[in-house]
Structures are given as C-alpha cells and as structure tokens.
C-alpha cells in the first residue's frame, strides 16, 4: 500500500488599517493611543437616531490598496450589517462590505518550494469598520487566567481593508512571503503605513489538508497571529496537527482555533457557524466609483517594489538580494535612486546604501528620513572611492565622520588628514625603504626563498599600509615591495 501524502490548502485573511485621520463613518479621530473611550461619538457607538456618513478618503485608500494587489475596481459596491453580539461591538453589528465588495480578483506573486514564481490569487478586498479592543487583567495581557476584562471603544469605526486570498497557498513559507509582499505593495501605494508594532496589520489563516486517498479535512481558521514568525509557526503546527488526526482516521473539526505563541500551539476557540448573518446596511446608499475616479487613483500609483527590484537587477545589474533590501522600504529606494541620479555608480551605490547607510540607521534607530547625509553627498563620496581618489577603507572613515559631525565630504577628508590620490610614487618608495630597513630579518628570509607562502611579503605590505594610514593603494604597495625586494 502506497504511503499516504498530504497537501496543505491554505487561504489568508488580512486586515489592514487604512491611512485616515478620521473614522470610516464619522469624524472621530483614529488615534487609538488616546485615553480609553475618548475618541468616540454617538455614530461609532451606534446610538439610536444616528446616521453614518462614508469617508471619501477611505474609499480612495481602498482603491489604491486594491490596485496595488492587481485587483479590478467595481463601479458599484454595497455595505452590509454583520450581526453578532460581543463586548467589543457596541452596535451589535459590524458594517462591512460582503457580497459586493469594492474590488474584484487580483494576485500577489511568491516563490514556490522549487523557487519558481507562482501567483496567489486575491479573491477580493473590501472595506469595513474595526471593532473595539479588549484589555484583560492577567499579567500577560491574555484572556486566559484573567479575572476581569475592559473595553476600549477608541478603535471602533477605524477604517479597515480586509483582503481575502483564494486557497492557493501551499506552505507556511509561501504564506509568509505572500503577507510580506502584500504589505510592501500596500505601503508603496500610500493606502496605509502598515506598521506591525502598532497593530495596523492582522492576519488569520484558513488551513485544511488534502490526502492522497481522496479525503479532505475540514477548514480550520487560526487566529491571534501578530507577526510573520507567528504566522509561520502557527501554520506549521496546524499542518502537523491535522495530518496526525487524518493519519489516525479522525475527523478534523471545522472550527476557529487560537494561536498561543508562548506555548507554540493552537487551541479550540469556537465551532464555526454556518448560518448567514448579513443584511444590506439600510443607512448607506450603494457606493458608486466612476471610471474617472479610478483613473485618477491609477495615476497616483507608484512603481511597485517587486517590479522596481526586477528593474534594478535587469537595468542596473544589481544583485537580486541587494535589490530586495533596497526596495523593502520605498523611501530607502528613493534615496538610492537619488544617489544614482546624482552620478553614483548604481552597483557601488547599492552596496554603500545596503551596508553603511543601513548600519548607521540600525545603530541610531533612524528612519531614512532622519539620515543626515544627503543622497547627492553620498554620491560624491562613492564617486571618489570609485575613481580611486580615496580607498574603500578611507571612504568608510569619511562616511563615519560625516554622519557623526553632519559634515560634507571635503571637510571630512581635511579633518581626517587624508590625501586624495593616496601615497604613491617617490613618497611610497620612501615608506617602503624605511619599512625594509627596519625589518632586515624579514627581508633576508624573503630573499633566501624561505617565504614560500608569501606570508612575509604580506606582513611587509601591512606595515606599509599602516605607515601610509591606508592612503596607499594595496595593489601598488604589493607591486612596489616585490620590486624593491628583487633589487
């Protein structure tokens, strides 16, 4: 009997907070860090007699996000009431688009297990309002073990885009790449900053297993994952759990499960409901989006990060792994492109940005907007290294001086006592003769043929570089020493 094989079938649901200063249906602030229950009003609390008013800017952000995911935009969409009773929802229903969302199908590209590009289809993106937040009294902030829970309604009504994929994801690794690529694209579009640490992105995974004997396990929704690592671990655990059940001939129950990151397991939360609980929102008319409006939004769309990375590789000959780093942050990519526009060699500039610029940013906890070397100034420094006027080592010293003192290239070179063009010619020969004179035993060993591995020659080269404070070119030093030794 052939060994049973199992194929994961995974879909991802993502909630992203859209960029707006006011909520989806009222003018309350979206500042969720304010004192609890201060950014609320009769509309977002669902008090009798209030009427919602759709936020025009949120619609535009939804369109931008949809375009970033290669989605089409519907000319007509509707809002519905999703009814359920829970403390974080004061209305008793959530207003959300359902059967007629603002976008049609799109896709995101990821790499499969063999490294080939594949498309994860996006079923749709729809707009909806967020619910309140619960705060539990347990020391770790979890519901489990808490004596009391408190509700903060500041988050109620903040605008969300829910993005639902088709079940095209085949592994935890694909799921993570899908979410990361999607996040980058939405950030580039300007629809959201998608800051994970601020809870601007939440994701759920729908996991089921297909067995080679024809059996299918029920779909399980896994919730409470708030990082890429948690998403990966949760899916891997759920795949193993479901596979074990099916190997033992047990049923996989269709349910919602909660990911416990500390324990590394999922636990049952509730059995999935199968009944419909949506009605058309009677207080909101249909949303009509004209082609002119769509065209205006398309004109705002920048080059997407994956497209930009491919262009860097094909046109600028930048290594793919470097291109991926540069395009991860659209502002970093803009900085790099400004360096190139100012005359820097693209490959050289890419390595300086990837290594030196990011090193300083990480050390100082800066964003690229905080970085104090303008791109045209960095381009000048890169050009001097590229032209051999200063060595790479000297270039890094100049770079560090510039970042520490907010100086230009010329000032840094002068303060550090660096001679552009380096030590060469007669000056270099004088240094070499001094080094040889001070190390007669080393010179004798080389001339006698005992330095078969060239270690003594490299020792002398190191002394010369030290004496010239790194201002001599290593290749010239090596050639000059060999010539002096032969004489």
Q: Per residue in 199-240, pLDDT tens?
A: 899 999 999 999 999 899 999 999 988 899 999 999 999 999
Please count the other Cβ atoms lying within 10 Å of the Cβ belonging to residue 82.
Answer: 18
Plot region of 157 (φ>0 → left; ψ -120 to 50 → alpha; else → beta): left
CA angle 102–106–108, rounded 5-degree value: 130
The count of C-alpha atoms lying within 13 angstroms of the C-alpha of 58, restricted to the half-sphere facing its C-beta, is: 26
How far apart are alpha carbons 184 and 64 in whole angstroms? 13
Give the pLDDT of residue 316.
97
* C-beta atoms surrounding 316 within 10 Å: 17
Interior/surface letters 271-285, b for 16+ CB within 10 angstroms, e for the rest: eeeeeeeeeebeebe
What backbone phi and psi angles, to 5 degrees, belong to 9? -125, 110
Q: Report residue 448 as tokens.
A: 């006698």
* Tokens coding 417: 């006592």
d(C-alpha 422, C-alpha 469), whole Å: 10
Cβ distance 259 to 144 under 8 Å?
A: no
Q: What is the pLDDT of residue 302?
A: 96
Residue 446 has what pLDDT?
72
Q: pLDDT tens-digit profile of 169-178?
A: 999 999 999 9
Query: Structural domains in the chain?
Result: 6-293 (no CATH), 305-415 (no CATH), 425-486 (1.10.10.410)
Cβ neighbours around 101 below 10 Å, total: 26
User: What stretches in the chain show pLDDT beneath 70?
Assistant: 1-2, 139-145, 272-276, 420-428, 430-431, 442, 444, 451-454, 456, 464, 467-473, 475-477, 479-480, 486-487
């Amino acid at each position: 009997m052939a060994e049973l094989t199992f194929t994961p079938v995974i879909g991802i649901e993502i909630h992203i907070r859209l960029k707006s200063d006011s909520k989806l249906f009222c003018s309350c602030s979206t500042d969720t860090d304010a004192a609890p229950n201060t950014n609320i009003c009769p509309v977002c609390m669902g008090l009798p007699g209030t009427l919602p008013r759709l936020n025009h800017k949120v619609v535009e952000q939804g369109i931008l996000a949809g375009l970033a995911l290669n989605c089409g935009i519907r000319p007509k969409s509707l809002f519905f009431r999703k009814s359920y009773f829970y403390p974080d929802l004061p209305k008793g229903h959530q207003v959300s688009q359902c059967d007629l969302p603002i976008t049609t199908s799109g896709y995101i590209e990821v790499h499969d297990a063999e490294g080939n590009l594949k498309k994860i289809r996006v079923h749709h993106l729809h707009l909806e309002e967020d619910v309140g937040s619960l705060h539990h009294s347990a020391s770790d902030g979890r519901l489990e073990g808490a004596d009391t829970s408190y509700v903060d309604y500041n988050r109620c009504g903040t605008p969300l885009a829910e993005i639902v994929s088709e079940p095209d994801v085949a592994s935890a690794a694909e799921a993570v790449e899908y979410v990361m690529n999607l996040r980058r694209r939405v950030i580039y579009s300007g629809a959201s900053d998608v800051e994970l640490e601020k809870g601007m992105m939440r994701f759920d995974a729908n996991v089921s297993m297909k067995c080679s004997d024809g059996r299918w396990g029920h779909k399980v929704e896994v919730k409470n994952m708030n990082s890429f690592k948690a998403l990966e671990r949760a899916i891997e655990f759920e795949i193993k759990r479901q596979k074990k059940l099916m190997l033992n001939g047990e049923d996989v129950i269709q349910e919602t499960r909660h990911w416990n990151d500390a324990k590394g397991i999922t636990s049952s939360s509730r059995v999935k409901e199968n009944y419909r609980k949506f009605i058309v929102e009677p207080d909101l008319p249909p949303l009509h989006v004209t082609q002119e409006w769509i065209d205006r939004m398309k004109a705002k769309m920048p080059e997407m990060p994956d497209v930009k990375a491919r262009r860097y590789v094909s046109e600028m000959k930048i290594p793919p792994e470097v291109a991926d780093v540069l395009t991860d942050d659209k502002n970093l990519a803009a900085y790099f492109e400004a360096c190139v526009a100012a005359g820097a060699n693209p490959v050289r500039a890419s390595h300086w940005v990837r290594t030196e610029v990011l090193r300083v940013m990480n050390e100082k906890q800066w964003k690229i907007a905080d970085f104090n070397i303008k791109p045209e100034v960095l381009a000048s420094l890169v050009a001097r290294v590229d032209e051999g006027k200063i060595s790479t080592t000297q270039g890094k010293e100049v770079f560090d001086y510039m970042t520490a003192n907010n100086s230009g290239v010329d000032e840094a070179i002068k303060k550090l006592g660096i001679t552009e063009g380096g030590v060469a010619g007669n000056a270099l020969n004088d240094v070499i003769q001094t080094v040889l004179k001070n190390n007669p035993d080393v010179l004798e060993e080389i001339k006698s043929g005992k330095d078969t591995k060239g270690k003594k020659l490299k020792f002398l080269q190191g002394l010369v570089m030290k004496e010239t404070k790194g201002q001599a070119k290593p290749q010239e030093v090596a050639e000059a020493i060999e010539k002096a030794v032969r004489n």
